[in-house]
Structure 1
Amino acid sequence: MADETGLFIYGVVPADVEATPDAAGVGDPPGEVAVIRHGDLGALVSEVPLDAPLGRSADLRAYQELLDGTAAVAPVLPVRFGTVVTGPDAVLDLLRPHHDRFAAALAEFEGRAQYVVHGRFDERTLLRGVLDENPAAARLAEQVRGRPESASREHRIRLGELISQAVELRRETENQRLLEATADHVVSTQLRPPSHELDAAHLALLVDTDREAALVDVLEEYAQHRRGLLRLRLLGPLAPYDFVAAHQLAG
C-alpha cells in the first residue's frame, strides 16, 4: 500500500506565476514544485509523505531557496515552514476565503524585497568601552582578575550583570542609529530579537527594489564608520518573511 501523501505549502503568489522545471521542494528526494490556482492567486506546493519528518536543515534551505528565488521575479507571501495539508482541496480552502486580502497583500509587496541587517560587537572593544564608562564594572573586573572563580563568584555574577545591561543599552542605541540611517531608503522595518549575546543590531527592512543600491551604499558607509566596534552583515534580497504576519497566513 502506497504511503499517504500531503501537500507542503511554501507561499502564495499571483496566479500567473509558473514553477520552473528545476524548482526543488523539501523532502528526500526533493518534491516537484507545482502551483495550485484560484482566481488571481496561486499556491506553491510539493507533495510529501504525511509520515515523513520535516525539519532537516536541507528542508529549511529548500524552503528558503524556493521562496527567495520566487521573490526575485514576483511577489510572494511565505507560509510558515512546515505547513502541510491533505490535498488540493485543502489548499483551495486556504485561498478561497482570503482571496481579496491575499491579492491586496501581493500588490503591496510588488517590486519590494526584504533585507536583514545583522551586526555583532567586537568583544574586546566592547568590554573595554564598558569598563571605561562604568567605574563599578571596572572595580569588579579588577577585584576578580587573577582570583579563582570559587573565591570571586559573587563579584563575577555582578560583573556579568553589569556587562549584560550595558550591552543591551548599546544594542538599543545601535538599532536606533541604523533605523535612522536607513529611514529614507526603506518602506517598513521590523526589529528582530538578538541571536547572540554580542549582537549589536538585528533588523529586517522592506525595500523598494529601485532603492536597493542606495540602501547598500548607506549601510557600507555606516559599517565603515563603526569599523572596529562591530561587524555588519547584509542578507538579501529575500522573500518578505518578517512582513507577512499582519496578513495571517496559515501555519
Structure 2
Amino acid sequence: MTVGTEKDPAVGAADLYLYGLVAPDAPLPDDLAGIAGRPVRAEALGSVAAVVSDAPSDREVGLPDDVRDHARVLDAVADVAPVLPVRFGTLTAAGALEDAVPADRQRRHADDLRALAGTAQLTVSARYREEAVLAELVAENPEIRHLRERTRGRDEMATYDARLRLGELVVAGFDRRRPADAELVARTVAPFARAISDHEVTRTGDVTELALLVRRDDVGPLEDALEALAEQVADRMVVRLVGPQAPYDFAEEV
C-alpha cells in the first residue's frame, strides 16, 4: 500500500513513512528512532493511530538497514502495546493519512487491535546440538560408524560414494528424531498459547520454530516452562524464546 514515493511529484519532502497501526491511546516507547534515525511518533486517525516517522528526503527507502529498522520499530512498539504491521516501504504524503487508511478500514483495524489486546507474539525455536545427536547416531547405527571410520582423513573424491551415503544416513537420523522432539516443545508451550503458528524448518539441525500468541500475564510462566525444558534437554538441544514481537503471524498485514 504505497500511496506515494519520492519519485511521485505529488509527494514532497514532508512524506511520512508508516510502520504500523495502534489504538488511539496506545503508548509508544520513549525516544524511538526509525528509518534514517528519524523520530517515531503516533498520528491520530480516528479509530486508530498510525506509527510514523518522517521519510528520508534525500533517498528512497529500501536499504537492508531500512528493513531492519522497520522490524525493530514494530517489535519495540509491540513490547508495550498491540500493533498491526504495515507493509515495509509504505509512504504517504503528509496530510494524506486518511487516504492511506480510510475510515472503513480504520474500524476493521480497530477491531483487530481490540482482539489482540493483552497479548504478545513470541517465537520459540529449538535446534539440535549436532555433535551430540551425531554421537547418538554413531552409537546406534553400525553403518554410520563404519562409514565415518572409512572416510575419516581420506581423499574426498576417493570416498565420494561413502560420504554421500553417510550424509543420507545422518540426515535420516535427524529426521527420525525431529517429530518427537518438536512435539515435546509444542506440549510445553501449548498451555500458555492462545494460538500457535508452526514455521517450516529447513536446516538439518533445526527441531522446530513456533510463533505463539500469548496473554501478557502468561509470558512469565511460559518463560519458566521453557527454562525448565531447556535444562532438561540441554545435552542435545538449544531452546530459545524471542519476543515480544509484532504479531506478523496473527494479524493481517495492513
Give the equivalent residue in structure 2 for 1:56.
Answer: 64
Please give the alpha-carbon distance, in whole angstroms, between the structure 1 residues aligned to 2:234 and 2:213.
25
TM-score, structure 1 length as denominator?
Answer: 0.84
Given the alignment of the two structures, is residue 14 of structure 1 paired with residue 23 of structure 2, yes or no? yes
- Structure 1 residues 19 and 228: CA distance shift in structure 2, 3 A: closer
TM-align CA RMSD: 2.7
Please give the alpha-carbon distance, in whole angstroms, between the structure 2 residues aligned to 1:31 and 1:140.
58
Which residue of 133, 138, 141 maps to 1:131? Answer: 138
The number of equivalent residue pairs is 244
Please give the alpha-carbon distance, in whole angstroms, between the structure 2 residues aligned to 1:20 and 1:117.
24
Please give the alpha-carbon distance, in whole angstroms, between the structure 2 residues aligned to 1:19 and 1:210.
20
Q: Is the 8 A contact 2:17 2:54 kept in 1?
A: yes
- Structure 1 residues 160 and 20: CA distance shift in structure 2, 3 A: closer
Q: Is the 8 A contact 1:38 1:92 kept in 2?
A: no
Which residue type is aligned with residue 10 of structure 1?
Y
Q: Deviations over 1:133-163 (max 9, x none)?
A: 3444333323323321110112212221222
- Structure 1 residues 21 and 238: CA distance shift in structure 2, 3 A: closer
Given the alignment of the two structures, is residue 180 of structure 1 paired with residue 177 of structure 2, yes or no? no
- Structure 1 residues 133 and 198: CA distance shift in structure 2, 3 A: same
Give the equivalent residue in structure 2 for 1:89.
Answer: 96
- Structure 1 residues 137 and 97: CA distance shift in structure 2, 3 A: farther
Q: Is the 8 A contact 2:28 2:80 kept in 1?
A: no
Q: Percent identity?
A: 33
Q: Deviations over 1:203-229 (max 9, x none)?
A: 211110111111111101111110110
1:102-121 matched pairs, under 5 angstroms:
102-121=109-128
Q: Which runs of 5+ in 1 are unaligned?
A: none
Give the equivalent residue in structure 1 for 2:108.
Answer: 101
Q: Is the 8 A contact 2:42 2:51 kept in 1?
A: yes
Q: Is the 8 A contact 1:43 1:91 kept in 2?
A: no
TM-score, structure 2 length as denominator?
Answer: 0.83
Give the equivalent residue in structure 2 for 1:221.
Answer: 228
Please give the alpha-carbon distance, in whole angstroms, between the structure 2 residues aligned to 1:196 and 1:177.
19
Q: Is the 8 A contact 1:36 1:91 kept in 2?
A: no
Q: Is the 8 A contact 2:119 2:214 kept in 1?
A: yes
The CA deviation at 1:127 is 0.6
Please give the alpha-carbon distance, in whole angstroms, between the structure 1 residues aligned to 2:244 and 2:223.
11
Give the equivalent residue in structure 2 for 1:207.
Answer: 214
- Structure 1 residues 237 and 229: CA distance shift in structure 2, 3 A: same
Which residue type is aligned with residue 245 of structure 2?
L
Give the equivalent residue in structure 2 for 1:47.
Answer: 54
